[in-house]
């Protein structure tokens, strides 16, 4: 069930609704082939609050390009040419582990590449996370933030995509040690979470890069546990920047209900009855870095690195193309993966460690894609209405304005605007460029704070 916001203006009309929908068939690794929905281009309320899940089911991280492979799904049963976005979690009925430590093997140092060097340097800072709920389990990845065991990962990893609020978490480090861990806090709005290892010391933290300095074409290296294969290294390039994706929220239920994990984004549990039904979920929008480095289920929460071994993003999802010729098969990485930018991830992680939670910005406007207006002359986010006393109203924005740029980031649709607003902390200042009656104008806005109560 989805909690209904008290204020009708707070409803996100563009959120995918799965209530009463039969769970799709499952593929070779148990991931249901999320498919059958066209990209959403309708009206969105940027000011909407993520709904709480009372019996959350499923797995997280996906573009509304139809599904989301939270770091990697295996999609099948969709129409030819349809793209799905899936979470990067490994879905098995039980945690998947690899024997022995997952250190990088270098047989001939003379022939080692830059990828070898980065993998050798950063692998000790990457962990495999096993999560157990009352009726499901899963495997994800994480990065070490501090020597005493703070770990950054995705919310959908620790909540089993919203099915549990009281998980049992264990973490395996690169040297083969296993630690018990507790959840410090989650941010379902940006799909990030922090956990803390018990009795840990002497760990090697990652180094973060400034994600605003990343270029298309830069080298990328991903390290994680795709399909439970700890210590896997893949590489590619940054294939696009200023991309935004829309996925279902993985907020934990207020009370752990031991959900069956039957969401289209599920990668955790493959042995459930395919006829089980899922609850509706609120949609969230994420700003992402796009890469062609192979990312698959289990990469969720792991690092996307640059050529210097610095984290530029936290892997969260991949796009997956399905085939109408298969009703159960699912495909893995097709070279379109997504990572939450390091600047966003660092801000959220620091806030969670300090306060147990993070805040997100609120514009206080209902928006939709400008392409929905036949009279529009530019792409952007079309403001349908503004909330009295909200950030947009206070800045002088009006219905009919088309936002085309936010803090230097191009805005092409409502998802772009929502993602950029949510990426900032509540109370942050931003500069918007908008079109009004064919005239380009600019305004400074002080954002409100999104309520997640």
> Do both 262 and 334 map to the same domain?
yes
Mean of the pLDDT values across residues 176-194? 97
> Do both 424 and 442 map to the same domain?
yes
> Do both 347 and 371 map to the same domain?
no
Mean of the pLDDT values across residues 232-237? 97
| Most confident of the ranges 26-30, 51-55, 167-171 | 167-171
Q: Which of 358, 392, 422 is the last residue of a domain?
A: 358
Q: Which residue range forms the structural domain that includes residue 387?
A: 361-449
Burial pattern 373-397, b for ≥16 Cβ within 10 A else e, equals eeeeeebbbbbbbbbeebbbbebeb
Per DSSP, the three-state class of 274 is: coil
Mean of the pLDDT values across residues 385-396? 97
By annotation, the residues acting in catalysis are: 156, 191, 300
Instruction: Measure the CA–CA gap between 435 and 121, rounded to whole angstroms.
Output: 47
- Above 70 in pLDDT, residue 34? no
> Is residue 272 within 8 Å of residue 327, measured between CB atoms?
no
Per DSSP, the three-state class of 350 is: helix
Give the chain's length: 453
Asked whether residue 137 is domain-assigned, the answer is yes
Mean of the pLDDT values across residues 204-210? 98
Per DSSP, the three-state class of 130 is: strand
Q: Which of 127, 112, 240 lies closest to 174, judged by CA? A: 127
> Is residue 72 within 8 Å of residue 88, measured between CB atoms?
yes
> Is residue 172 within 8 Å of residue 151, measured between CB atoms?
no
Q: Quick one: pLDDT band at residue 283, thresholds 50, 70, 90?
A: confident
Burial pattern 118-134, b for ≥16 Cβ within 10 A else e, equals bbbbbbbbbbbbbbbbe
Number of domains the chain is built from = 2
pLDDT at 7: 35
Q: Quick one: pLDDT band at residue 110, thresholds 50, 70, 90?
A: confident
CATH (domain of 412)? 2.30.42.10
Using alpha carbons only, give the angle 75, 320, 131 rounded to the nearest 5 degrees: 70
Lowest mean pLDDT among 245-249, 256-260, 444-448: 256-260
CATH (domain of 84)? 2.40.10.120
Report pTM. 0.77
Count CB-CB contacts under 10 A for residue 107: 6
> Do both 307 and 400 map to the same domain?
no
Q: Which of 297, 330, 358 is the last residue of a domain?
A: 358
Model pLDDT for residues 262-278, shown as the tens digit of each residue: 322 222 222 222 223 33
Model pLDDT for residues 62-103, shown as the tens digit of each residue: 333 334 455 532 222 222 233 455 555 544 333 334 444 457
Asked whether residue 40 is domain-assigned, the answer is no
> Do both 87 and 75 map to the same domain?
yes
Q: Quick one: pLDDT band at residue 153, thresholds 50, 70, 90?
A: very high
pLDDT at 88: 55
Read off the tokens for 260: 């069956």
pLDDT at 71: 55
Q: Which of 358, 376, 394 is the last residue of a domain?
A: 358
């Amino acid at each position: 069930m989805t909690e209904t916001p008290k204020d009708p203006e707070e409803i996100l009309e563009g959120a995918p609704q799965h209530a009463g929908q039969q769970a799709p068939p499952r593929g070779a690794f148990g991931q249901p082939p999320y498919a059958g929905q066209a990209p959403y281009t309708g009206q969105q309320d940027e000011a909407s609050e993520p709904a709480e899940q009372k019996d959350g089911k499923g797995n997280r991280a996906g573009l509304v390009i139809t599904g989301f492979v939270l770091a990697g799904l295996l999609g099948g049963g969709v129409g030819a040419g349809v793209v799905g976005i899936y979470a990067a979690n490994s879905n098995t009925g039980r945690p998947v582990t690899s024997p022995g430590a997952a250190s990088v093997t270098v047989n001939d140092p003379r022939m080692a590449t830059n990828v070898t060097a980065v993998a050798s340097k950063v692998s000790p800072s990457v962990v495999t996370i096993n999560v157990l709920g009352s009726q499901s389990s899963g495997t994800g990845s994480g990065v070490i933030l501090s020597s005493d065991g703070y770990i950054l990962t995705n919310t959908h990893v620790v909540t089993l995509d919203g099915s549990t609020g009281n998980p049992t978490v264990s973490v395996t480090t690169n040297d083969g040690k296993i630690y018990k861990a507790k959840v410090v806090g989650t941010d379902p709005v940006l799909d990030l979470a922090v956990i803390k290892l018990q009795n840990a010391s002497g760990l090697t933290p990652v180094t973060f890069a400034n994600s605003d300095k990343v270029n298309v074409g830069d080298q990328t290296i991903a390290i994680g546990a795709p399909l439970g294969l700890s210590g896997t290294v893949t590489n590619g390039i940054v294939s696009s920047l200023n991309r935004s994706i829309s996925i279902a929220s993985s907020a934990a239920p207020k009370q752990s209900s031991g959900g069956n994990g039957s969401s289209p984004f599920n990668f955790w549990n493959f042995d459930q009855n395919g006829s089980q039904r899922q609850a509706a979920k609120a949609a969230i929008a994420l700003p992402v870095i796009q890469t062609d480095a192979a990312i698959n289920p289990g990469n969720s929460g792991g690092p996307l690195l640059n050529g210097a071994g610095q984290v530029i993003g936290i892997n969260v999802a991949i796009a997956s193309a399905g085939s109408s010729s298969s009703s159960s098969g699912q495909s893995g990485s097709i070279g379109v993966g997504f990572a939450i930018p390091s600047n966003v991830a660092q801000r959220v992680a620091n806030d969670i460690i300090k306060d147990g939670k993070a805040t997100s910005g609120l514009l206080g406007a209902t928006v939709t894609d400008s392409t929905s207006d036949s009279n529009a002359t530019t792409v952007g986010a079309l403001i349908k209405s503004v909330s009295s006393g909200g950030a947009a109203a206070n800045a002088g924005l009006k219905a009919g304005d088309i936002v085309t740029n936010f803090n230097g980031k191009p805005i092409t649709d409502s998802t772009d605007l929502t993602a950029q607003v949510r990426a900032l902390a509540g109370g942050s200042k931003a500069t918007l460029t908008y079109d009004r009656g064919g005239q380009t104008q600019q305004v400074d806005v002080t954002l409100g704070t999104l309520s997640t109560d």
